[in-house]
Amino acid sequence: MKKALIFGITGQDGSYLAEFLLGKGYEVTGVTRRVSINTTERISHILPKLNIVEGDITDAFNVMRVIEETEPDEVYNLAAQSHVGTSFSQTHLTLDVTAGGVWNILEAIRHSPRCFDMRFYQASTSELFGKNYDETENGEKFQNEKTQFMPQSPYAVAKMAAHNMVRIYREGYGMHASSGILFNHESERRGEHFVTRKITKWVGEFVNFKRAVRKEYNLKIIETVFTEDKIMFKCGNTGEVLSKFGKLRLGNLDAYRDWGHAADYVRAMWMMLQQDSPDDYVIATGESHTIREFLDAAFNAVEIEDWSDYVMIDPEFYRPAEVDYLRGCPRKAKSVLQWEPEISFEELAYRMVKHDVKTQGLQRPDLQKVPANSFKTRQIHMSDVQEEGQESMAQCPPHNEMEFG
């Protein structure tokens, strides 16, 4: 039985990779940091099948000990401070974890007596390219393994350092070390501070909030009124405001991204380590979509055709330096690895919205960073307006049907 060691097993990619490797018959060990809260939610359904050890990739001695004790055949590093926006405010932490942690793992493997029995995968990122791209003869933009890196964030700088270290250890020490330059990959397990999940979680909460208003007052909402930053629900006959809900607050809607599903991308990780020779591969769908297009797909999933009244642009969510266009060319991965993405852009958005409508609500009510005592608060509870509308409620017509718009 092959053994796999996953750093970052509790994240989106780690959970899908663990599922995939278990399905392949691997013995899987995951490394998690000791924290005061439960971080195993994404892997709770497979936890009994996993070996979990405490560790931290910023601790070189700890990394060496974990690798010695687990004796893995394959080592996957998915651990990082991976939020681009956060990297601007937590620069040193991002460098220590995202770059320094990789160096610790590479050194531990290099000094192990089993060095040449192990294969190493490093999660690189399309953020390495920054504003750079190549063009076809027809003027189509793309990035591949030969496109020059031009990082636009501390996160990307840290990832570039890690990417280059993998290459150096591969060429200098003969290690089987590969990097996957993964373009944006999302899923139902995506962290809520990433824009795709922020959108679908908001949609899920909005749909459930509107259902709750109807249930509370036993009526059909006739009129939905949009203000600058709020959505108001009014009683049909009286026009009384029943409740309010904060709009979805976003930054740049015109950035292009190549979005795929994480479940497809972890297959590519494993495929890289099955090759006789290590190498670096771009993993992408080859399609590019704007955030506006993702909004289209997400709102269409709940039968809202025009989302413009539900979204407001907030300068707070603009980055100091933005990556404008990303579209990967996965030709090498398709040719060498025989890898193909299976889940389309539209299916990705639909799955995420379906999941978030089902599970309801956001886990982090401060997600849009609006003070709780501000007029911009995301939602005002129904009890806040119930008293003033008490008399008029009897005049509101009952309802049976359900609508999303």
User: Domain containing 152 — which CATH number?
Assistant: 3.40.50.720
Residue 109 has pLDDT above 90, yes or no: yes
Report pLDDT digits (tens) over 220-263.
Answer: 656 889 999 999 988 766 778 888 999 999 999 999 999 999 99
Say whether both 112 and 230 belong to one domain.
no
Say whether both 94 and 81 belong to one domain.
yes
Q: Are 265 and 170 in contact (CB under 8 A)?
A: no
Q: Catalytic residue numbers?
A: 125, 127, 155
Residue 115 has pLDDT above 90, yes or no: yes
Chain Cα centroid distance, residue 240 = 40
Say whether both 305 and 178 belong to one domain.
no
**pLDDT at site 36:** 66
Say whether both 228 and 352 belong to one domain.
yes
Q: Are 31 and 6 in contact (CB under 8 A)?
A: yes
- The C-alpha angle with vertex 41 and arms to 37 and 42, in degrees rounded to 5, equals 135
CATH assignment of the domain containing 245? 3.90.25.10
Number of domains in the chain: 2
380: containing domain: 192-258+288-323+344-405
**pLDDT at site 221:** 59
What pTM, to 2 d.p., does this model score? Answer: 0.85
Lookup: tokens for 208: 């459930």
CA dihedral 304, 310, 314, 316 (to 10 degrees): -70
Report pLDDT digits (tens) over 52-65.
Answer: 999 999 999 999 99
Measured CA distances, 103 to 14, 97, 354 (Å): 20, 10, 40
Say whether both 149 and 18 belong to one domain.
yes
Say whether both 135 and 223 belong to one domain.
no
Alpha-carbon radius of gyration of the chain: 24
Say whether both 71 and 138 belong to one domain.
yes
Say whether both 24 and 162 belong to one domain.
yes
Say whether both 338 and 362 belong to one domain.
no
